[in-house]
């Protein structure tokens, strides 16, 4: 039986970074990944990197003329370039971990008990490994709702599967109005597909303030994306050439044809097959691995990181999870999930939407006395250079302390700008620091001068 000091299940951001760190410190490390196509984790292979590569290519494509065949050719080339990029990053990640001194094997891991892991290899062979410390970093998987015919349709895809489709659909139907679905809607529309989003709720992106949501919705609809709210997908059946969705709207039952269906109904922690019960590892009510603020599970020598823990599913959270675990293992345990500060996020639309901190509604519910700043994106000179003048910037300020409670940016380059705000919030700087800062010109960041100057 093989014995190691550290066994990591899953080659995600947190797991791979921890593997390299522990191996360089001189400890034995075994990293087990179920697929050699997932070295580097979800972000590199089937999420952040490939979708943003497609989004970038789509914005180039929309500026070019041609019929649908020409658009489809550009789409195929984009898929080819995306695949080459992810393959290169996958190999680089593998080499980095191995060169650090960790052992990487491809196999499916499951707990035999709290100290022993059974590993089944692709050739059918198996091995049991004993480990002193175990780290779970298995990510999340797409959730497929129990809609009649959906799972079996040859035209239905999860987000991971759709990224490998090299045939541009004439009509893409997206089931789910969340952020993943919106990103796919945006870049497929840029490539030339007709896009329809079906969401069963009546409120568009309910997490956001209504004025921000209205701007995002108007932007998508102005580009030709159809958003059907308060609509349920009843069933799906295939014909010889496409899929037909039966949907229930407030006007009654209707049918909708699609060349491709994207199932964008969320992701669930990937705990299937781990046999966590055998190790005594507890789950939350939502099926995530239950951890404390140091990311320890209910078993003291077992930790969990990344999407499998539930909560915010971002690769930079998985990276911060690594920092928390590292702090427990090699430091004084001072870093925890409770002191990581404000967490920004971006939705890569065209233009992108980014946010950090509270919404106006959340700030009011929390009892703050607030001041609001708003600025049309077109007021920033750089938007004219970029030919991307739509959007809005919004900030929520604590009226008593002048501290920034939240910022919402629906504008060009917002995914870069939001990081400035994150640092200011964590440093507890008053909004006046961003208001009076000297920025290079012409840039989108200088919009903070005018945004915060609007506060009286």
- Of 343, 355, 349, 282, the closest CA to residue 314 belongs to 343
- Of 223, 32, 49, 21, the closest CA to residue 111 belongs to 32
Residues whose CB is less than 8 angstroms from the CB of residue 365 and which lie 6 or more positions away in sequence, other chains included = none
HEC string of 123-157 equals CCCEEEEEEEEEEECCCEEECCCCCECCCCCCCEE
- Please give the positions annotated as active site: 441
- Of 86, 79, 42, 72, the closest CA to residue 57 belongs to 79
Distance in angstroms (rounded) separating the CA atoms of residues 393 and 409: 5
In 22-124, DSSP assigns E strands to 29-33, 103-106, 108-111, 116-120
Distance in angstroms (rounded) separating the CA atoms of residues 297 and 288: 11
Task: With beta carbons less than 8 A apart as the criterion, state whether 402 and 455 touch.
Answer: no
Q: The tokens of 266 are what?
A: 């969320």
Instruction: Give Cα separations from 191 to 37, 52, 53, 172 (angstroms).
Output: 26, 14, 13, 11
Q: Rounding to the nearest 10 degrees, give the CA dihedral for residues 296, 298, 299, 300.
A: 40
Distance in angstroms (rounded) separating the CA atoms of residues 419 and 343: 9
Distance in angstroms (rounded) separating the CA atoms of residues 319 and 215: 32
Distance in angstroms (rounded) separating the CA atoms of residues 46 and 221: 27
């Amino acid at each position: 039986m093989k014995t190691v000091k550290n066994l990591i299940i899953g080659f995600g951001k947190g797991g791979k970074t921890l593997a390299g760190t522990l191996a360089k410190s001189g400890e034995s490390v075994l990293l087990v990944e179920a697929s050699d196509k997932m070295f580097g984790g979800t972000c590199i292979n089937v999420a952040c990197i490939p979708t943003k590569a497609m989004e970038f290519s789509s914005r180039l494509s929309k500026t070019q003329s041609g019929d649908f065949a020409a658009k489809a050719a550009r789409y195929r080339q984009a898929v080819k370039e995306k695949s080459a990029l992810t393959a290169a990053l996958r190999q680089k990640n593998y080499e980095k971990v191995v060169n650090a001194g960790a052992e990487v094997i491809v196999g499916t891991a499951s707990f035999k008990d709290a100290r022993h892991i059974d590993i089944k290899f692709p050739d059918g062979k198996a091995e049991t490994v004993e480990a002193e410390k175990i780290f779970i970093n298995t990510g999340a998987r797409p959730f497929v709702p129990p809609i009649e015919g959906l799972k079996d349709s040859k035209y239905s895809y999860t987000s991971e599967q759709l990224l490998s489709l090299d045939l541009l659909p004439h009509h893409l139907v997206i089931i789910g109005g969340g952020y993943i679905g919106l990103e796919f809607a945006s870049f497929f529309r840029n490539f030339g597909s007709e896009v329809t989003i079906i969401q069963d709720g009546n409120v568009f992106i309910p997490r956001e303030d209504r004025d921000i949501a209205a701007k995002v919705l108007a932007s998508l609809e102005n580009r030709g994306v159809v958003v059907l709210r308060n609509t349920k997908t009843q069933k799906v059946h295939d014909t010889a050439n496409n899929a037909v969705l039966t949907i229930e709207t407030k006007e009654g039952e209707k049918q909708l044809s699609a060349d491709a269906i994207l199932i964008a109904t969320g992701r669930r922690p990937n705990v299937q097959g781990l046999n966590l019960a055998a190790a005594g590892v507890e789950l939350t009510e939502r099926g995530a691995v239950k951890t404390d603020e140091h990311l320890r599970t209910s078993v003291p020598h077992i930790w969990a990181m990344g999407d499998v823990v539930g909560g915010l599913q971002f690769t930079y959270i998985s990276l911060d999870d690594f920092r928390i675990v590292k702090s427990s293992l090699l430091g004084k345990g001072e870093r925890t999930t409770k002191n990581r500060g404000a967490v920004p996020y971006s939705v890569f639309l065209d233009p992108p939407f980014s946010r950090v901190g509270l919404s106006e509604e959340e700030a009011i519910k929390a009892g703050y006395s607030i001041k609001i700043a708003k600025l049309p994106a077109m007021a920033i000179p750089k938007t004219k250079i970029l030919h991307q003048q739509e959007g809005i910037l919004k900030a929520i300020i604590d009226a008593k302390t002048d501290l920034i409670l939240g910022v919402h940016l629906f504008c060009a380059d917002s995914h870069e700008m939001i990081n400035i705000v994150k640092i200011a919030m964590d440093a507890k700087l008053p909004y006046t620091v961003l208001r009076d800062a000297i920025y290079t010109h012409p840039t989108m960041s200088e919009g903070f001068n005018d945004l915060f100057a609007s506060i009286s």
